[in-house]
Amino acid sequence: MDLSNENVVHVKKNGIEYLQFRKLLEYKDKINHVYTLGTDWDFRVSKIGKHIVTDEKYNENILSYEKLCKELGMDYKKIIKPIQDHTNEVKIVKKHINENEPDFNCEEYLETDGLITGQKNLILETTNADCILLLFYDPVKDIIANTHSGWRGTLQRISVKTVQKMVNEFNCNPEDIICCICPSIRKCHFEVDKDVKDMFKNEYKDLDKKQLKEIIEEKIPNQKWNIDTVLINKIILKKAGLKEENIIDSKICSVCNSNKIHSYRVEKQEYCLNIALIEKI
């Protein structure tokens, strides 16, 4: 199965599969990026925070990083990985912390869900298993960002906070910023109860009725609703000043394609993780 479409390329090479965004490939002399595919490997390496792995599993998963990065010409030891916790915390990365190993499990990035840098050879990582991952690039200021926006992060508008921080810290113009939306759970499968529906309806009451109707669809009267978190991010990013043509959606549902993409809704408590990486070169 090939997941390529007008926005993404599905690469199959040396037993490895991954996606790359056609728009970001226009800048392949300046940045490198990837979203992993395949359910036969895992990228969970947490030793602090939630979902801690054993030493044996950690060492096994490190091999996944080595294999992927070798194929992409990246040095996995340059990866900076936040310890995600569905927050709206976005941090600036100025340097690598650990010596001769990736920046995994650093207290500096505890409860952090977005990273921004202007430095070269620092690989920003986020992980998902249904949540939205957003790869940002400003080709004018040469700034990259990588943000995890699950439904809680979307409620906290972390995508907009990332843009605001790029503007405030690096003088980026929102009209120059490209945002690529990686595979995630889509409206077709993101079914919620009334409590979550009400949270979204209250947070996004500033949107017009037509937009709200598109975002929140009642499936079972007064019991179940489907929510389009991808569309929400598109709307609020556009309101934040990004051009519509610079908001690039992979158009891929992680649940519909759970044979290629890890999905919490499908795998339940035994779920594994895919990753998105972006690096200035």
Same domain? 94 vs 129: yes
CATH code for the domain of 129: 3.60.140.10
Same domain? 213 vs 248: no
Cα dist from 138 to 92, 103, 194, 200, whole Å:
15, 24, 38, 29
Q: What sections of the chain are H helices per DSSP? A: 22-25, 55-72, 151-155, 158-170, 194-203, 209-215, 229-239, 264-267
Q: What is the pLDDT of residue 49?
A: 79
Q: What is the pLDDT of residue 276?
A: 98
The boundaries of the domain holding residue 217 are 191-227
Q: Is residue 2 part of a domain?
A: no
How many C-alpha atoms does 74 have within 13 Å on its Cβ side? 29
3-state secondary structure (DSSP) of residue 252 = coil
Distance CA 191, CA 279 (A): 34
Same domain? 115 vs 195: no
Same domain? 111 vs 133: yes
What's the structural domain count of the chain?
A: 2
Locate 55 and state its tokens.
């030493």
Same domain? 206 vs 76: no
Distance CA 8, CA 19 (A): 6
Same domain? 135 vs 274: yes
Same domain? 216 vs 145: no
193's CB contacts (< 8 A; 6+ apart) are 223, 224, 225
Q: Is residue 3 part of a domain?
A: no
> What tens-digit pLDDT sequence spans the chain (281 residues)?
999 999 999 999 998 999 999 999 999 999 999 999 999 999 999 998 778 899 999 999 999 999 999 999 999 999 999 999 999 999 999 999 999 999 999 999 999 999 999 999 999 999 999 999 999 999 999 999 999 999 999 999 999 999 999 999 999 999 999 999 999 999 999 999 999 999 999 999 999 999 999 999 999 998 999 999 999 999 999 999 999 999 999 999 999 999 999 999 999 988 999 999 999 99
Same domain? 234 vs 218: no
